[in-house]
Amino acid sequence: MANSATADLWRTASYFYELPDELIAQNPSDRRDGSRLMRLGPGGVSHCVFSDLPSLLGPGDLLVMNDTRVFRARLAGKRLSGGGAVEIFCLRQSPDDEFSWTALVRPGRRLPPGSPVELAPGIVAAVGERIGDGVRMVRLPDNIPVDALFERYGKIPLPPYIKNSSAPPERYQTVYGKRENDRSVAAPTAGLHFTPKLLDRLAESGVKTEFITLDVGVGTFRPVKSDDIRQHKMHSERCSVAHGAASRINAARSEGRRVVAVGTTVVRTLESMADESGMVSPGCRETEIFIAPGYRFKAVDALLTNFHLPRSTLLMLVCAFAGYDAVMDAYAEAVRQRYRFFSFGDAMLMG
């Protein structure tokens, strides 16, 4: 395996690793906190179970979590002309029109703008123009409230590498996600390992918790297609930090307590909202931050995350955080030790 002395860290190919298909988790562990946990620290790699987390964190450490939830974004229908099957994967609502959405549509190339798609008798959507990168505008039916439409006809969108899961939909939601934050098309998967009892144990051991929100977009599934990572364009995602959360995060930093990000979405939010001194501002914004080796972290001291796809921006982020050599060696060790990878897989604690 290449190391940072021989790898060009601007080349997408440097973030490739061999992964047997059978290590891609199709279902979560029997218990949320029963997954394996690799710890990557100054002393190298050690192997734990996720339920060991209270013994791996210290009193006063601040766990920051993303409280978003996944909405039932996949709508199945049929063409009114011809009856062929159509899937509309809704991504984001227009800020000006609750029934206007960006979406991925299959089979998109065979659907000219204006094509009507029947989702249920009398419930018809209209596929609109192409706006780039496989995304279309879609007009959802206005004779049913949008929330009711998704609740009645939508399905939770699992990642494309999960092909035969038998897990109930709630296993692709965190136990602490807020239902009013059903705005993501993918789960903040590092948080899937937590249980209410584990959160109680963490609190009893002196670990603090705080919440931010980032609405996870479809870009989390998409590989970097350019040969040079500097040419990659991140998809925009909405993130927010409440005033109280920002104050408590900043207090932890001022007091020398560690800020432990639960997942890359939390890292991207805190680093987007932080100034050069690491102080986090409250508010809501769009972020297109792309974190890769060479980035100087300002607001995050430790990272809890899952194992990420080859050539993905998420793998580049963790390489930036813990060092390219250390991360790629740890991933090779995870393959040798038969860890389970990606959304329903095992976890890693860095820092």
* The predicted structure's pLDDT at residue 109: 82
Task: pLDDT band for 9, please (50, 70, 90 cuts).
Answer: very high
The pTM score is: 0.95
CA 105/CA 98 separation, integer angstroms: 19
Asked if pLDDT for residue 106 goes beyond 70, the answer is yes
Residue extents of the structural domains in the chain = 12-70+167-350, 74-155
Task: pLDDT band for 279, please (50, 70, 90 cuts).
Answer: very high
**DSSP readout, 257-326?**
--EEEESHHHHHHHHHHB-TTSPBPPEEEEE-----TT---SS-SEEEEE---TT-HHHHHHHHHH-HHH
**Strand 44-49 to strand 36-41: parallel, antiparallel, or no bridges (unpaired)?**
antiparallel
CA 320/CA 310 separation, integer angstroms: 15
The single-letter code of the amino acid at 280 is V
CA 236/CA 245 separation, integer angstroms: 23
* The predicted structure's pLDDT at residue 2: 67
* The predicted structure's pLDDT at residue 325: 97
Q: What is the mean pLDDT of residues 60-86?
A: 95
Q: What token pair was written down for 72? A: 């039932």
CATH of 74-155, one of 2.40.10.240, 3.40.50.2300, 3.40.50.300, 3.40.190.10: 2.40.10.240
CA 252/CA 28 separation, integer angstroms: 33
* The predicted structure's pLDDT at residue 81: 83
**Which of 7-11, 190-194, 207-211 is predicted least confidently?**
7-11
CA 181/CA 317 separation, integer angstroms: 25
Q: What token pair was written down for 272? A: 């987007």
Based on the number of CB atoms within 10 Å of its own CB, is 208 exposed (0-12), middle (13-18) or buried (19 or more)? buried
Q: What is the mean pLDDT of residues 300-305?
A: 98
Residue in 68, 67, 65, 64 with CA at minimum distance from that of residue 252: 64
Q: Which fold has domain 12-70+167-350?
A: QueA-like (3.40.1780)
* The predicted structure's pLDDT at residue 1: 59
> For the segment 13-71, what is each residue's pLDDT rounded down to a tens digit?
999 999 999 999 999 999 999 999 999 998 899 999 999 999 999 999 999 999 999 99
Based on the number of CB atoms within 10 Å of its own CB, is 117 exposed (0-12), middle (13-18) or buried (19 or more)? buried
> For the segment 168-193, what is each residue's pLDDT rounded down to a tens digit?
999 999 999 999 999 999 999 999 99
DSSP three-state, residue 116: strand
